[in-house]
Chains A and B, each alone.
Chain A
Amino acid sequence: MIDFAHPAYLWGALAVAVPILVHLFNQRRPRPLPFGAIEFVLRSQRQKASRLRLRQLLLLALRCLLIAAVAVALSRPQLRPKGAQSAAAQGPQAVALVLDASLSMRYRLGSRTLFERARSEALAALDALGPDEPAVVGICAGEGGFLTPAAAPSFDRIAARRALTAAQPTWVTSDLTTCLDLAAKALGESPVLGKKIIAFSDLAAHSIRLNAPPPLVPARPGSNGPGTKPSVVLVDAARGSALPNAAVVATAVRPAPSLGPRGYEVVATVANWSASAATGLPLALKIGQSTVSKGFLDVPANGTAKKTLAAVLPAGTALGRVELARDDAHGLDEDDAQDFVVHVPRDVKALIVDGAPSSLRSRDEAFFVEAALSPARTGGRITSTTLDADAAVNAALDGYDVVLLLNVAAPPKAFVEKLRQAVKTRGMGLFIALGDRVDPDAYNDAFGDLLPRPLHLIKTAAEPGAGGEDRAARFGVVDWGDPLFRIFGPAEREGVESARTFRYALLKPTGSAARTIASYDDGAPALIESSVGAGHVLLYTSSASRTWTDWPIRVSFLPVLQQAVGFLAQALEERQPVPAQVGGEREISAPQGLAVLQVLGPDGKPVAIRRSRPDAPDGTAGPLLLPGVYRPQVGPKGGAPHDDPSLAFAALLDVKESDLRRVDESDLKAQLGGAGSAQVAASSEAAQGAHGTPLWSPLLILGALALLGEGLLTRR
Chain B
Amino acid sequence: MSLDPALLARLGPLQIRARKVMEGVLTGLHKSPSHGQSVEFSEHKEYAPGDEIRHIDWRAFAKLDKYYVKQFEMETNLRAQIVVDASGSMAYGRGAMTKLAYAAVCAGALAYLFARQGDQVGLCIAGDGTRSLEKLPRGVRSYAPFASSQAHVQAILKQLEEARGSGPTLLAEALDFAAEKASRRALFVVLSDLFDSSERSVPALKMLRSRRHDVLLLQTHDREELEFPFDDPTRFLSMEDDRMVEAQPRQIRESYLSELRRFLESTRKELARADVEVAQIRTDAPPDRVLLQLLARREAA
A57 at interface by CB-CB < 8 Å: no
The answer to whether B251 touches A52 (Cβ under 8 A) is yes
* Total chain B interface residues with beta-carbon distance under 8 A: 33
Per-residue interface assignment for chain A, residues 600 to 626, with 1 indicating a CB less than 8 Å from any chain B CB and 0 otherwise: 000000000000000000000000000
List the one stretch of B27-35, B49-57, B254-262, B291-299 in contact with chain A.
B254-262
Question: Could you pull out 18 A-B pairs where Cβ atoms are within 8 angstroms?
Answer: A29-B233, A30-B233, A30-B235, A30-B247, A31-B234, A33-B236, A33-B237, A35-B237, A36-B225, A37-B193, A37-B195, A38-B236, A38-B244, A41-B236, A41-B245, A44-B259, A45-B247, A45-B252
A225 neighbours in B (Cβ, 8 Å): none
Q: Assess whether A31 is in contact with B99, with CB atoms less than 8 Å apart.
A: no
A30 to B251 Cα, complex, angstroms: 14
- Looking at the complex, which one of B193, B225, B233, B238 makes contact with A28 (CB distance below 8 Å)? B233
Q: Supply 20 further A-B pairs (C-beta < 8 A) apart from A36-B92, A37-B225, A38-B243.
A: A30-B246, A32-B244, A33-B230, A33-B234, A33-B235, A33-B236, A34-B236, A35-B225, A35-B236, A35-B238, A36-B89, A36-B222, A36-B225, A37-B260, A40-B260, A42-B245, A43-B255, A43-B259, A44-B259, A48-B252
Residues of B202-224 contacting chain A, CB below 8 A: 222
Determine if B239 is an interface residue (Cβ-Cβ < 8 Å): yes
Q: Residues of B contacting A41 with CB < 8 Å?
A: 236, 245, 247, 252, 256
Ranked 4 nearest A-B pairs via Cβ: A36-B92, A36-B89, A44-B255, A30-B233
Tally of chain A residues near chain B (CB < 8 A):
22
* Complex alpha-carbon distance, A596 and B235, angstroms: 110
A36 and B239 contacting across the interface, CB-CB below 8 Å: yes
Which residue of chain B is the closest to A46 with respect to CB atoms? B245
Q: Which residues of A contact B (CB under 8 A)?
A: 27-45, 47-48, 52
**Are the CB atoms of A37 and B230 closer together than 8 Å?**
no
Bound state CA distance, A45 and B244, in angstroms? Answer: 11
Q: B163 at interface (Cβ–Cβ under 8 A)? A: no
* Cα–Cα, bound, A41→B99 (Å): 19
Contacts of B183 in A (CB 8 A): none
CB distance from B165 to the nearest CB of A (A): 9
Least distance between A270 CB and chain B CB atoms (Å): 78
The answer to whether B61 has its CB under 8 Å from any CB of chain A is: no
Task: Tell me the bound Cα distance from A33 to B234 in angstroms.
Answer: 7
Contact B252 A31 (CB under 8 A): no
| CB-defined contacts of B91 to chain A, threshold 8 Å | 36
Q: Are B237 and A32 in contact (CB under 8 A)?
A: yes
Does A32 contact B245, Cβ atoms closer than 8 Å? no
Say if the beta carbon of B41 comes within 8 Å of chain A.
no
Contact A40 B237, CB 8 Å, known A28-B232, A30-B246, A34-B92: no
Q: How far is the CB of A714 from chain B (nearest CB, A)?
A: 11
* A34 to B: closest C-beta gap in Å: 5
A43 to B247, CA, bound (A): 11
Given A45-B247, A48-B255, A52-B248, CB of A39 within 8 Å of CB of B195: yes
Q: Is the CB of B90 closer than 8 A to any CB of chain A?
A: yes
Residue from A33, A35, A36, A39 having most chain B Cβ neighbours under 10 A? A36
Report the bound CA distance from A37 to B219 in whole Å. 13
Take A28-B233, A30-B232 as given contacts and tell me if A48 and B251 are in contact as well, using a CB distance cutoff of 8 Å. yes
Q: Does B132 contact A (CB under 8 A)?
A: no
Q: Inside 8 A of B90's CB, which chain A residues have their CB? A: 36
Taking CB as reference atom, which chain B residue is nearest A28? B233
List the A residue with the shortest CB-CB distance to B226.
A37
Determine the distance from Cα of A269 to Cα of B87 in the docked complex, in whole angstroms.
106
On whether the beta carbons of A37 and B252 are closer than 8 Å, the reply is no
Give chain B residues whose Cβ lies under 8 Å from the Cβ of A42: 243, 245
Q: How far is the CA of A44 from the CA of B222 in the complex (A)?
A: 19
Give the CA-CA distance A35 to B89 in the complex, in Å. Answer: 7
Do residues A40 and B256 form an inter-chain contact, with CB atoms below 8 A? Answer: yes
**Cα distance, A34 to B246, chains bound together (Å):** 12
**When chains A and B are docked, how far (Å) is the Cα of A42 from the Cα of B222?**
18
Interface centre among A27, A37, A42 (most CB of B within 10 A): A37
**Contact A38-B245, Cβ < 8 Å, known A33-B237, A52-B251:** yes
Cβ B248 vs Cβ A35 within 8 A: no
**Cα A31 to Cα B230 with chains together (Å):** 11
Supposing A42-B245, A44-B259 touch, asked if A31 and B235 sit within 8 A by C-beta, the answer is: yes
Distance between Cα atoms of A47 and B254 in the complex (Å): 12
User: With A34-B239, A36-B239 known to touch, is A44 a contact of B233 (CB < 8 Å)?
Assistant: no
A59 to chain B, nearest CB (A): 12
Set of chain A residues within 8 Å of B244, measured between Cβ atoms: 32, 38
The residue of chain B having its C-beta at the shortest distance from the C-beta of A716 within the complex is: B251
When distances are taken between beta carbons in the complex, the residues of chain B under 8 Å from A34 are 92, 236-239
The CA-CA distance from A48 to B249 in the complex, in Å, is: 11
Within B179-209, which residues are at the interface with A (CB < 8 Å)?
193, 195, 197
Interface centre among B237, B239, B255, by most A CB within 10 Å?
Answer: B255
A38, A45, A52: most-surrounded residue (chain B CB, <10 A) = A38
A40 contacts B259, C-beta separation under 8 Å: yes
Cβ of B235: which chain A residues have Cβ within 8 Å of it?
Answer: 30-33
Q: How far is the CB of B243 from chain A (nearest CB, A)?
A: 6
Distance in Å from the Cβ of A615 to the closest Cβ of chain B? 106
Q: Which residue of B lies closest to A35 (CB)?
A: B236
How many angstroms from the CA of A45 to the CA of B259 in the assembled complex? 11
**Chain B residues whose C-beta falls within 8 Å of the C-beta of A33 in the assembled complex:** 230, 234-237
Distance from A391 Cβ to chain B, minimum over Cβ atoms (Å): 130
User: How many whole Å from B6's CB to the nearest CB in chain A?
Assistant: 20
Q: Most B CB atoms within 10 A — which of A30, A44, A45? A: A44
Which residue from B234, B239, B252 sits with its C-beta under 8 Å from A44? B252
Closest to A43 in B: B259
Q: How far is the CB of A26 from chain B (nearest CB, A)?
A: 11
Q: Which residue of B lies closest to A31 (CB)?
A: B234
The answer for the CA separation of A213 and B42 in the assembled complex, in Å, is 137
- Over the window 80-92 of chain B, the binary record of Cβ atoms lying under 8 Å from chain A Cβ atoms (1 yes, 0 no) is 0000000011111
In the complex, which residues of chain A have a beta carbon less than 8 angstroms from the beta carbon of B225?
35-37
Chain A residues within an 8 Å CB radius of B236: 33-35, 38, 41
Pick the residue among A28, A35, A40 that contacts B263 (CB under 8 A). A40
- The CB with the most chain A CB atoms within 10 A, among B89, B230, B236, is that of B236
The distance in angstroms between the C-alpha atoms of A31 and B252, with both chains bound, is 16
Taking CB atoms, residues of chain A closer than 8 Å to B255 are 43-44, 47-48
Known contacts: A40-B263, A44-B256, A45-B247. The answer to whether A35 contacts B233 by CB under 8 A is no
Per the bound structure, the CA–CA distance linking A47 and B88 in Å amounts to 25
The answer to whether B238 touches A38, judged by C-beta atoms less than 8 angstroms apart, is yes
Q: Which of A31, A39, A43 contacts B233 (CB 8 A)?
A: A31
From A27, A30, A35, A40, B92 is in contact (CB under 8 Å) with: A35
Task: Give A716 Cβ to nearest chain B Cβ, in Å.
Answer: 9
> Would A36 and B251 be within 8 Å (CB), given that A28-B232, A30-B232, A41-B245 are in contact?
no
